[in-house]
Amino acid sequence: MRKYVIISAFAMALGISCATNPFTGKKTLNFVSNDQIFPMAFAQYKQFLTENKVVSGSGAAQQVQTVGNKIRIAAEKYLNSLGQKEYLNGYAWEYKLVENKEVNAWCMPGGKIVVYSGILPVTKDEAGLATVLGHEVSHALANHGAQRMSADQLQQLVGIGVGAAVSGQSQEKQAIFSQAYGLGSTLLVTLPFSRSNESEADEIGLTLMAIAGYNPDQAITFWQRMSAQGGGAPPEFLSTHPSDATRIRDLKRLIPQAKATAAKFGVVYK
């Protein structure tokens, strides 16, 4: 009986938790509202800043602010053109440069962004930084954080259902089913889902940087520099991110579309 209750709850969750994202035009599964996730994200961001060295008053810190604001304005222009101005309600954009040798940047749900100083030698200029910030801002705009939380909840729910379905089996068989579900859900659901989010953020970010006045061709140059960093990445099917080669290939395909969208806002590239 329990497994049928779980299946019914699962079906109801799917039915009521899908919304269309204006940036992608896709319906996304989301059990977590902005009212729930934003306060948590903002608190974590504030805590992070107290525990790390924030760089201020430098040219690099100013560049992060300048490029970040241009990307934000581009997002607002795009949403306004779709009649979706209210979509950004609750977002509180903030950009910080943090002293850290790691080649990384990230964005919390709701628009709290951190750039590590270690990535600046790779970004090199505003266009390179716009590639990074466009991508990170796009994670927030596409609600990838909430989607990830929703997917985790869904996997847990299905896992309970799997456990209930094999509850009459021996402990050895239950353990085998549990391990198989864990491995299968990681390889077939979690990792592809994460790579899909990354590719989606690349696509949205490319459009935003183009609207913001940065030639999207420069995204290719940035990712070529990133690829040259090396680092022994795992095979793509075992990674949370697409390979650099896949990213570059996909971005090349998407550049004409990004330029065409930017042209609608009066920004023209050859």
CA distance 265 to 26: 23
Contact (CB, 8 A) for 270 and 256: no
With beta carbons less than 8 A apart as the criterion, state whether 169 and 177 touch.
yes
Q: Is 136 a catalytic residue?
A: yes
Task: Give the active site residue among 136, 198, 200, 203.
Answer: 136
Assign 184 to helix, strand or coil: helix
Structure token pair of residue 224? 């070529």
- Contact indicator for 21, 142 with CB cutoff of 8 Å: yes
The answer to whether residues 137 and 153 touch, using CB atoms and an 8 Å cutoff, is: no
CB count in 10 Å sphere of residue 193: 18
Distance CA 58, CA 115 (A): 14
Active-site residues, by number, are 136
